[in-house]
C-alpha cells in the first residue's frame, strides 16, 4: 500500500523557518517525481515546489522562490521542504505528492498520482 506521510508543520512567527518532511512507503519512490502543494482556507490547491527523480531538475512557485528549498533523499524514500523567511500568506495545509515511476515533474497536480494527508503550517504576523 503506497503511502505518503508529511510531518514538520506547526505554528511559527513571521520570518521564522520550518522544515517539512514527507516519508514515502509501499514502494520505492527513487524513480518518481516529487512535489509540494499547499491549500489555504477558501483557496484552491496551488503548486509550491517540485523535484525530478534524480534531483537534477527543480522548480518553484514564484511566491516561494528564494525562500523555500526542496530536496530529496532517495535512500530514505523521503522528500523535504525547507521553508525560510515565512510570511503569513504562507499559511496553508501543505501536501506532499509523488508521480508514478519515471513520471516527469511538473507544476500541475495532474502530474502526481499519490498524495499525503497534509500538514498544517500557520505563520503568525
61-84 tens-digit pLDDT:
999 999 999 999 999 999 999 999
Count of Cβ atoms closer than 10 Å to residue 25 Cβ: 12
Task: Specify whether the backbone of 78 is left (phi greater than 0), alpha (psi in -120 to 50) or beta.
Answer: beta
Helix (H) or strand (E) holding 59: strand 58-60
Q: What is the arithmetic mean of pLDDT over 12-29?
A: 95
Query: In the numeric block, which cell numbers belong to residue 104?
Result: 516527469
Q: What is the arithmetic mean of pLDDT over 15-28?
A: 95
112-124 tens-digit pLDDT:
999 999 999 999 9
Handedness of CA 115, 111, 25, 18 (dihedral sign): negative
pLDDT of residue 1: 82
84-103 tens-digit pLDDT:
999 999 999 999 999 998 88
For residues 69 and 59, what is the distance between their CA atoms, to the nearest angstrom?
Answer: 10
pLDDT of residue 28: 86
Where do runs of H (alpha helix) occur along the chain? none
For residues 12 and 18, what is the distance between their CA atoms, to the nearest angstrom?
Answer: 8
Amino acid at each position: 500500500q503506497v503511502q505518503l506521510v508529511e510531518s514538520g508543520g506547526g505554528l511559527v512567527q513571521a520570518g521564522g523557518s520550518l522544515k517539512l518532511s514527507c516519508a514515502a512507503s509501499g514502494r520505492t519512490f527513487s524513480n518518481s517525481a516529487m512535489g509540494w502543494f499547499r491549500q489555504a482556507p477558501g483557496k484552491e490547491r496551488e503548486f509550491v515546489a517540485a523535484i525530478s527523480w534524480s534531483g537534477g531538475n527543480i522548480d518553484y512557485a514564484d511566491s516561494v522562490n528564494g525562500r523555500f528549498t526542496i530536496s530529496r533523499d532517495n535512500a530514505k524514500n523521503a522528500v523535504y521542504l525547507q521553508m525560510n523567511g515565512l510570511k503569513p500568506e504562507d499559511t496553508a495545509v501543505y501536501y506532499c505528492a509523488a508521480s508514478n515511476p519515471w513520471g516527469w515533474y511538473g507544476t500541475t497536480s495532474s502530474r502526481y498520482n499519490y498524495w499525503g494527508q497534509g500538514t498544517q503550517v500557520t505563520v503568525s504576523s
